[in-house]
Structure 1
């Protein structure tokens, strides 16, 4: 599975999706963290998926985020996302009552969703946003479900990723790096691809990194990975979605406005973000 691409949260611009579709990206992730799904209504979330499905070529995979806080709501959203054209769903961990989101609770939640889903389910662990890491023992148990095919792990703990791969590879379970900052590290321990915010800005470069890794050209891959670490951190942890959207504009894409309460970058923040991309040779 090649590197995947999270899309913009708002109604997609057809020409921009055409540009993305021309890259070697395997497909698109819609309504992930960078899709601002937490700030969109149910109707908006579904409409974005429908619009993307209308214009994305059939040879590109379309994955939609369907996670909600309750199991009942997640099952309903999963069914609706599949009906809207998603070929698989990405299900984030419920986290509001994180103190009770232990392995038994999460196994029950994902099992109920996977049993009901007409399309394959991908687990989604993003502790920076949820404050909750999907436990390894829960992942290993869920990997045995015939309709749970993989995990997007955004935690950045490569030893954890390696352990999950070691314990599940005989099942055909696929691990995806959840950030471009450790994409090379993920490939080195057996990840099959990535779902990366930075792919919205530097998609061809991430595809090149994958090509270098898979062809065993590790020194070249390391040099490229080094130049992606700071820009990736800038559009994720440091400046977040406002930074990602601004970067997209610089590279000829359409980032659009943030959904309130997110605010656009200040002038100083934009200057700092541009310096990061310039210093690493991208601008």
Structure 2
């Protein structure tokens, strides 16, 4: 039986606070992680910037720093003009210029922009675009993307542990989950149960992960994730301004979300 463990690390995703880092810092983080990461683990580096030119440049720097593949978020500052034509052009140019595979990244909670399904379908045919991290949580949309891209060598990843089971049920092949920074083994256990077809057990575990996952993503965000990491023996550290630490009231509520589900 296949045993599911963490396949690797995503660096410079949403929880890496990449918008608050200088380009030099972003590259340095990837270099340091590459030095520390076991060779059998995948290093996916976020290289998305607002312009196509900057994204290509950052992607090259991430490759040079040791990234095995790139996670490229949708440009969103001019989101009103980021239609399928613009995004297909953007991602095609990035993928054409990269010597490592590219993973599309749709995170509408942060960008206000869903990567359109028709754009994903067309981009899935590009030989160097290998997958999608979808953090939107719309299972109907995820199922449609899986259906429309299944003839391609294209992998759909759930972007959150809160809907990981549902994503597996409609054909996703894994996840990139903020909660794995805190409850990594439990997230892997959920994936294992899904792959093994043990859906009743998977459902019970999924129930227990929803509240803490929501707390460290949509509800309280990065400050909550870093605090939870400290509780579980990891080094979360401080957030970069303008993000602020949790208030006392929010901290108490965060603790309830974890303790009431049996994790603290």
What range describes the TM-score normalised by the shorter chain of this pair?
Answer: over 0.9
Q: Distance in 2 between matches of 1:24 and 1:233?
A: 22
Indicate yes or no: 2:64 matched with 1:78.
no
1:223 to 201, 204, 221: 204
Q: Distance in 1 between matches of 2:44 and 2:232?
A: 24
Give per-residue Cα distances to partners, 1:196-232, cap 9 Å, x unaligned: 0000000000000011011110000000000000000
Indicate yes or no: 2:264 matched with 1:269.
no
3-state SS of 1:209 partner: helix
Q: Distance in 2 between matches of 1:169 and 1:253?
A: 38
Aligned equivalent of 2:83 = 102
Unaligned runs of 5+ in 1: 3-22
The CA deviation at 1:268 is 1.2
TM-score by length of 2: 0.98
Q: Distance in 2 between matches of 1:168 and 1:216?
A: 23
The CA deviation at 1:80 is 0.5
Q: Distance in 2 between matches of 1:43 and 1:277?
A: 36
Aligned equivalent of 1:193 = 174
Give per-residue Cα distances to partners, 1:237-279, cap 9 Å, x unaligned: 1110000000000000000010000000111111110011000
2:127 to 124, 127, 146: 146
Aligned equivalent of 2:8 = 27
2:109 to 125, 128, 136: 128
Q: Distance in 2 between matches of 1:188 and 1:27?
A: 23
Unaligned runs of 5+ in 2: none
The CA deviation at 1:24 is 2.0
Q: Distance in 2 between matches of 1:164 and 1:237?
A: 23
Q: Distance in 2 between matches of 1:79 and 1:119?
A: 9
Aligned equivalent of 2:40 = 59
Matches within 5 A, 1:272-283: 272-283=253-264
2:188 to 207, 219, 223: 207
**Root-mean-square deviation (CA), in Å?**
0.9
TM-score by length of 1: 0.92
Q: Distance in 2 between matches of 1:164 and 1:65?
A: 22
3-state SS of 2:151 partner: helix
Matches within 5 A, 1:9-48: 24-48=5-29
3-state SS of 1:108 partner: helix
Runs ≥4 in structure 1, deviation > 4 angstroms? none
Indicate yes or no: 2:235 matched with 1:254.
yes
